[in-house]
């Protein structure tokens, strides 16, 4: 039987200030770590109002009101200028950022790229990436490594294998560092945003981004050029790039132009990279703190990993751990919208141009919606209990028309990679550990995740899991 202490393990998170912060404190904490802004009342109240200098903000954590904003009356709540500003550098023409008719055309055209059948066909690429990492770590012996950095590399590797199955023809480490640098600069919400200064006014550090964007665009344009030549010869691999170049809106017959193709590749790379890497990093950390759940994931992996058919559906325990990690540390910690017209959220009147913030980080730890909200307990996501979780209380991927198009891809990837790594390695947190959540664009670990690895041997002395590449 697990220990009572283990059942009640509360992983690291800022303790909410007991009362509301003053605007100046909010600005300081927003720059340092937005997670520190949420005072205790937000975790108890359904809707809270905050007066900002030029607008009202409503912090909405009532499932019915969330349903109204993100689903029933979604047209009245487009993405707000802060979210747009954060997304605007380079991704402006991709699915994440466009609005109105342009978004509708793109969403319809891109839907087949992430349909369940297509995503299932990517499990081989996900296993390949996992096996490559097993091989790399196996060579290290009993080493201490930064797991967060390797999760960033492996999720980028999965995306490059599934988007450009014939490779990026460049240095993956360099590409990954450029992505991280990009997020560090773009992901900060500062005083200029809160004061309503338009996105066209340059923010500190943004000048440096131009070089990074030019670097990304150069690589992508070269790869697309080569793929178009192969398309003309009808000699193409079946990957996301081929699907993207062929994508057609069924309603209008429109194809994406080159700017949209480039922006969407960058969008997939950026939206699907750090988010999934953080999910995996938090999952591995949480398992390192819970011998009971680690053993359950390992036992399941030993049983199920021998074949790749329908694999993600059979890894039920690994998936529950991933979903619990997404609850405690949702990579997109807050969603924001702007009200076009006035509206009623329950009994609360919302004026036009109000900022609406729905924070999965707060919602997932809300005292009225979850039992023992700060406790790590993946059993909440085992099949029977999972079915009882109300739909609008758990939103790691958002909900409604703008819900994450890559959610099945991400869940499948994180589940498979987690199972393979836990099967093959004992992973222990290096002491003294300093694990702390911080929100940039994504919610990540402030100082990486240093862990000691030890390869597991099966009884015959072989590694626990021979390569699973089908």
Per CB under 6 A, which region of 37-45, 134-142, 399-407, 456-464 contacts ligand HEM?
399-407
Answer yes or no whether residue 272 interacts with ligand HEM by CB under 6 A.
Answer: yes
Per CB under 6 A, which region of 48-56, 85-93, 245-253, 331-339 contacts ligand HEM?
331-339
Q: How far is the CB of 131 from ligand HEM (least distance, A)?
A: 20
Q: Which of 118, 120, 242, 279 binds ligand HEM (CB under 6 A)?
A: 279
Residue whose beta carbon is closest to ligand HEM: 406
Answer yes or no whether residue 206 interacts with ligand HEM by CB under 6 A.
Answer: no
Answer yes or no whether residue 11 interacts with ligand HEM by CB under 6 A.
Answer: no
Answer yes or no whether residue 404 interacts with ligand HEM by CB under 6 A.
Answer: yes
Answer yes or no whether residue 125 interacts with ligand HEM by CB under 6 A.
Answer: no
Closest to ligand HEM by CB, 414 or 422: 414
Site for ligand HEM (CB under 6 A): how many residues?
23
Per CB under 6 A, which region of 141-149, 187-195, 298-306, 402-410 contacts ligand HEM?
402-410
Question: Which residues, numbered 67-96, are part of the site for ligand HEM (CB under 6 A)?
Answer: 79, 95-96
Q: How far is the CB of 332 from ligand HEM (least distance, A)?
A: 4
Answer yes or no whether residue 148 interacts with ligand HEM by CB under 6 A.
Answer: no
Answer yes or no whether residue 441 interacts with ligand HEM by CB under 6 A.
Answer: no
Closest to ligand HEM by CB, 95 or 286: 95
Q: How far is the CB of 233 from ligand HEM (least distance, A)?
A: 27
| Contact of 444 with 148, CB cutoff 8 Å | yes
Residue 306 phi, psi (nearest 5): -70, -25
Answer yes or no whether residue 398 interacts with ligand HEM by CB under 6 A.
Answer: yes
Answer yes or no whether residue 437 interacts with ligand HEM by CB under 6 A.
Answer: no
Closest to ligand HEM by CB, 332 or 453: 332
| Residues in a beta bridge with 60 | 47
Q: How far is the CB of 306 from ligand HEM (least distance, A)?
A: 26
Q: Name 126's Cβ contacts closer than 8 Å, sequence gap at least 6.
A: 158, 412, 413, 416, 417
| Contact of 362 with 43, CB cutoff 8 Å | yes
Angle between helices 206-232 and 172-186 (to 10 degrees): 140
Answer yes or no whether residue 332 interacts with ligand HEM by CB under 6 A.
Answer: yes
Q: Which of 63, 81, 331, 378 binds ligand HEM (CB under 6 A)?
A: 331
Instruction: Return the closest-CA partner of residue 336 out of 362, 305, 318.
Output: 362
Closest to ligand HEM by CB, 165 or 463: 165
Q: Which of 16, 63, 396, 448 binds ligand HEM (CB under 6 A)?
A: 396
**Distance of alpha carbon 425 from alpha carbon 341, whole angstroms:** 54
Answer yes or no whether residue 152 interacts with ligand HEM by CB under 6 A.
Answer: no
**Distance of alpha carbon 317 from alpha carbon 379, whole angstroms:** 8
- In what order do the strands lie in the sheet containing 144-146? 144-146, 450-455, 425-429
3-class secondary structure per residue, 126-187: HHHHHHHHHHHHHCCCCCEEEHHHHHHHHHHHHHHHHHCCCCCCCCHHHHHHHHHHHHHHHC
Name residue, tokens 């919208």.
337
Per CB under 6 A, which region of 20-28, 225-233, 361-369, 404-412 contacts ligand HEM?
404-412
Q: How far is the CB of 235 from ligand HEM (least distance, A)?
A: 25
Answer yes or no whether residue 410 interacts with ligand HEM by CB under 6 A.
Answer: yes
| Contact of 394 with 61, CB cutoff 8 Å | no
- CA-CA-CA-CA torsion for 363, 78, 322, 13, nearest 10 degrees? -40
Per CB under 6 A, which region of 170-178, 286-294, 328-336, 458-466 contacts ligand HEM?
328-336
Q: How far is the CB of 444 from ligand HEM (least distance, A)?
A: 12
Answer yes or no whether residue 415 interacts with ligand HEM by CB under 6 A.
Answer: no
Closest to ligand HEM by CB, 11 or 272: 272
| Contact of 307 with 467, CB cutoff 8 Å | no
**Could you list the residues that contact ligand HEM (CB under 6 A)?**
79, 95-96, 107, 267-268, 271-272, 275-276, 279, 331-332, 335, 396-398, 402, 404-406, 409-410
């Amino acid at each position: 039987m697990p220990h009572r202490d283990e059942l009640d393990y509360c992983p690291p998170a800022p303790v909410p200030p007991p009362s509301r912060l003053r605007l100046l404190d909010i600005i300081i904490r927003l720059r340092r770590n937005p997670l520190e802004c949420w005072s205790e009342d937000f975790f108890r109240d359904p809707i809270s109002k905050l007066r900002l200098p030029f607008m009202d903000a409503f912090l909405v954590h009532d499932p019915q009101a969330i349903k109204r904003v993100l689903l029933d009356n979604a047209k009245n709540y487009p993405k707000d200028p802060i979210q747009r500003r954060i997304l605007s550098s380079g991704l402006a023409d991709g699915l994440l950022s466009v609005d109105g008719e342009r978004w509708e055309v793109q969403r319809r055209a891109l839907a087949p790229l992430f349909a369940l059948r297509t995503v299932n066909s990517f499990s081989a690429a996900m296993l390949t990436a996992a096996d490559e990492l097993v091989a790399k770590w196996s060579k290290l012996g009993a080493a201490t490594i930064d797991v967060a950095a390797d999760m960033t590399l492996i999720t980028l590797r999965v995306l490059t294998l599934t988007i450009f199955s014939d490779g990026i023809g460049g240095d993956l480490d360099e590409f990954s560092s450029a992505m991280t640098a990009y997020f560090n600069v773009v992901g900060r919400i500062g005083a200029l945003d809160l004061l309503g200064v338009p996105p066209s006014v340059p923010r500190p550090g943004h000048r440096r981004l131009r070089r990074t964007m030019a670097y990304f665009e150069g690589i992508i344009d070269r790869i697309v050029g080569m793929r178009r030549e192969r398309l003309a010869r009808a000699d193409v691999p079946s990957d996301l790039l081929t699907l993207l170049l062929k994508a057609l809106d069924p309603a209008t017959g429109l194809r994406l132009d080159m700017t949209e193709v480039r922006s969407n590749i960058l969008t997939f790379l950026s939206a699907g990279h750090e988010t999934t890497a953080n999910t995996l990093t938090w999952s591995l950390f949480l398992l390192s703190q819970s011998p009971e759940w680690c053993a359950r994931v390992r036992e399941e992996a030993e049983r199920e990993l021998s074949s790749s058919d329908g694999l993600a559906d059979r890894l039920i325990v690994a998936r529950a751990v991933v979903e619990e990690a997404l609850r405690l540390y949702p990579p997109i910690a807050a969603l924001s919208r702007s009200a076009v017209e006035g509206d009623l959220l329950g009994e609360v009147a919302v004026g036009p141009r109000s900022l609406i913030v729905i924070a999965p980080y707060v919602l997932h730890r809300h005292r009225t919606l979850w039992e023992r909200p700060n406790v790590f307990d993946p059993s909440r996501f085992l099949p029977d209990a999972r079915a009882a979780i109300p739909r609008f209380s758990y939103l790691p991927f958002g909900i409604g028309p703008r819900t994450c198009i890559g959610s099945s891809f991400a869940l499948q990837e994180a589940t498979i990679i987690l199972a393979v790594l836990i099967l093959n390695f004992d992973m222990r947190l290096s002491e003294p550990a300093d694990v702390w959540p911080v929100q940039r664009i994504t919610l990540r670990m402030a100082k990486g995740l240093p862990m000691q690895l030890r390869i597991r041997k099966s009884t015959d002395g072989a590694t626990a899991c021979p390569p699973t590449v089908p």
